[in-house]
Structure 1
Amino acid sequence: MSELSGTERTRHRRLREQGRREREALFEVLRAGFVCHLGVVVDGAPMVVPTVYGFDQDHMYVHGSVASRSMTQDSVVCVTVTHIDGLVLARSVFEHGVNYRSAMVYGVPRRLEGEEKLAALRCLTEHVTPGQWEYARRPNRKELAATTILAISLEEASVKVRQGPPGDDDDPHDVWAGVLPLAQVWRAPVTAPAVAHPAPAHVRERAVEPS
């Protein structure tokens, strides 16, 4: 299995034991979510924009309005994805922490056009809601023209994961310590007021409670 890059930007300097070198670790983080934060520099100042993403073996795909300044960058950007799995509550406040999975991807974005743009939009849509690309109406020319799709290579990436209980077993303070887990789940779909159709199976099946 190939390893992630080891550049100066992606080298693990602190808490190296939480670093992951396997490329599959990056894919695990990307598969687990659908919102990323795109970090860019605009007019000499940093800007961090939340947006949905999709990905394949080689690229992340992010989208936005053609009018968005975050979508017009020709220099290196940083994309981050973070999942919080729980609060780590130790005996000492100093030792408190978070169980998390995170990835950082660096690269110069490339704006996509034509069939490549449409394929990336499909990739993004299917990552967010599998089955939706075939179910919903495809974007028309006007909608495509109003949308920018950026491809960012996964060549330069870093992953960190923190799991497990607090690490202060030798602390003499006699209080409870442990992990408060956090889980995010899909609930039953809510049909729009003007829609007469029930939610399709590929939407209902994602919910943890019945429709």
Structure 2
Amino acid sequence: MEPLSATPRTSLGRTPERAGTDRSVLYEILDAGLICHLGVVVDGTPRVIPTCYGRLDDTLYVHGSTGASSLMTAPAQEICVTVTHLDGIVLARSLFHHSINFRSAMVYGVPSPVTGEDEKLAALRVVTEQLAPGQWDAARHPTRKELAGTTVLALPLAEASVKIRQGPPSDDDEDHALPTWAGVLPVHQTFGAPVPDPALTPGISVPAHIAAR
């Protein structure tokens, strides 16, 4: 597997020991996420848009309405997409050394619009399966009209940066004697029990792929 790119903007200047260089770690971070943040410049003003996404091999797909100005202008410029997982609050003896445990990925590149009907359906399947594996085969597929109203962008994972911080606080040695509790408050994202649509036809049970989450 090829290593991550090492460009000036993907190389960490501060705390370089937190940089990930293995492409498999990039995949793990992206595959574990549900929401990304798309950074794009619209009419000279930066915007950061939370949106759904999905990864297939070395391509990241994002989607939205054809009327979204952020997606309309994105193919003409470089964009930045980030995914972050918060794993814990690091509580140190000193306020200066408070931190967070996290895993993050940042991807740069010029996206390409996905235009072919088959290609767009394949990309939307990737996005759908990112959120709820098994849902693509359980629900009605998009009509041609719905496809026409949906924009899908493909962003190559050619230039990406990974940053990870895990572990206990990094207090100064002289602060270890302070009578202050220090440690990590773990943060976990979990799914609750499925809540049925009030308009759901009686007798339809929660499908296995949803109940398993």
What is residue 191 of structure 1 aligned with on the other side?
Answer: 196
Using the alignment, how far apart are the partners of 2:70 and 2:206 within structure 1? Answer: 34
Amino acid corresponding to residue 3 of structure 2 in structure 1: E
What is residue 88 of structure 1 aligned with on the other side?
Answer: 90
1:88-141, Cα deviation, whole Å (9 max, x unpaired): 000001110000000000010100012111110011111111110000000001
Q: Which runs of 5+ in 1 are unaligned?
A: 207-211
SS in 1 for 2:127: helix
CA RMSD in angstroms comes to 0.9
Using the alignment, how far apart are the partners of 1:169 and 1:44 within structure 2? Answer: 44
Using the alignment, how far apart are the partners of 1:169 and 1:5 within structure 2? Answer: 34
Note if 1:144 corresponds to 2:144: no
1:194-205 → structure 2 map (5 Å cutoff):
194-196=199-201, 197-205=204-212
Which of structure 1's runs of 4+ aligned residues deviate more than 4 A? Answer: none
What is residue 165 of structure 2 aligned with on the other side?
Answer: 162
Using the alignment, how far apart are the partners of 2:56 and 2:22 within structure 1? Answer: 16
Residues matched between the structures, number: 206
Once the two structures are TM-superposed, the CA of residue 169 in structure 1 deviates from its matched residue by 5.5
TM-score between both structures, scaled by the size of structure 1: 0.96
Note if 1:118 corresponds to 2:121: yes
1:33-112 → structure 2 map (5 Å cutoff):
33-72=33-72, 73=74, 74-112=76-114
Using the alignment, how far apart are the partners of 1:2 and 1:152 within structure 2? Answer: 18
Note if 1:132 corresponds to 2:135: yes
Q: Which runs of 5+ in 2 are unaligned?
A: none
SS in 1 for 2:122: helix
* Overall identity of the aligned pairs, in %: 57
